[in-house]
Amino acid sequence: MKTTDVGSLPPLEPREKLDRAASAYVSVVGYLTESSLAKLFEKVVLKSLEDKVKAGVEAPNYPQLRDMNEMFMRQVSGVRRARGGYEVEGRLRALSPKVPELEVLRRNLSVLRELGVSELRACVTGPYTLSTLFKTRTPDLIAQLGEVVTKFTEASVFNLRGARVTLVFVDEPVLGFLDDPLLDPESVGREALLKAWEQVCHKASSLGAEAGFHLHTTANPLFWEVEHLKIIQSHVGDPIYERKEPKLEEHDKLIAASVCRTDLDALIAEKVGEGRLGEVWASIRSGGSSGVEYLEGLELMARRARRALELYGSRVACSCPECGLGSFPSYSLALECLRRASEAAKIAR
């Protein structure tokens, strides 16, 4: 049960600036001229990766410091922004399927060796979640997004001189929360999504990585039908972590143990009540409180890791927080959460 993470951290620079810096890093001009923006992007990504490793993460996700949807949509042609969502204006294509954060790691293999990093996790936002950004959703849109995400996946996997991407997780946080007629039984949309998912997962596995889904709920069981999907992760409290799910063995899949909650609003409300949420957040933002007192404790996280092992044994592939930490109020608080989650897994195994 290796330790990993979902991806996001609070950015060390403004997100708008990082968006520009990411574009500069993968542009020919930016790379050849070593522009200040490109160098800044490289520095921030490597710093964040180093901090993940120091927190105990053994197979770190590339530091996802930008919006999980927009970082991919910015690299898709055939769409235009409109009020109320994206609109299709042509065939969707990945303009450049390279994920800039992963390019930083690919170009700095010596740094990975110095940090002792041999395994990496890559996340891509899934076709279903991306489809919800559009004003009009159709089976063909999902199919085209499946092709685009497959291109991102293909460009994300590498195996170079001792460092390789071993995990590719498709982020589908929206699945299970919408009453979506597109996914009705025997519908064209349902089949289009299954085909899109299979295309993405097959590409990852064909390149030597294990394909996983990061979900917020397993309420919609459609994902079980994806043949090349190997690892399933959901949020703390999901039934899959409360009692043994026979489908895991039936479909020959593994599980990622989510060992800690990451919804700070909920964690704060449990301690002080919803009525004091504003007061607590004001204190955190002003520096009066670090917020660390609202994180879950190490022993609770370790109990969750042990419970996953009791339920699934060798089918527990990895462990990590339930979600990304990009919404945390400070970088240091996010790292403390990662440190506890990693330590909990090591206590349990």
Q: What is the pLDDT of residue 29?
A: 62
230/202 Cα distance (integer angstroms)? 10
**Rounded Cα–Cα distance for residues 123 and 229 (Å):** 14
Which domains, from first to last, does the chain contain? 2-261+299-348 (3.20.20.210), 262-295 (no CATH)
| Residues 52, 325: Cα–Cα separation, whole Å | 12
Q: What is the maximum span of the chain, computed from C-alpha positions, in angstroms?
A: 55
Other C-beta atoms lying within 10 Å of the C-beta of residue 33 = 11
| Confidence at residue 349, expressed as pLDDT on a 0 to 100 scale | 84
Residue 221 is given by DSSP the state G
pLDDT of residue 32: 61
CA 324 – CA 311 distance, rounded (Å): 24
Enumerate residue ranges in the chain where pLDDT < 50.
none
Average confidence score pLDDT of the chain? 96
- Residue 26 in 3-state DSSP? helix
Question: What does the H/E/C string look like for 89-153?
Answer: EEEEEECCCCCHHHHHHHCCHHHHHHHCCCEEEEEEECHHHHHCCECCCCHHHHHHHHHHHHHHH
pLDDT of residue 27: 85
Alpha-carbon radius of gyration of the chain: 20
Query: For position 329, what pLDDT does the model report?
Result: 95
Q: What is the pLDDT of residues 21-52, one digit of tens each?
A: 999 999 866 666 668 899 999 999 999 999 99
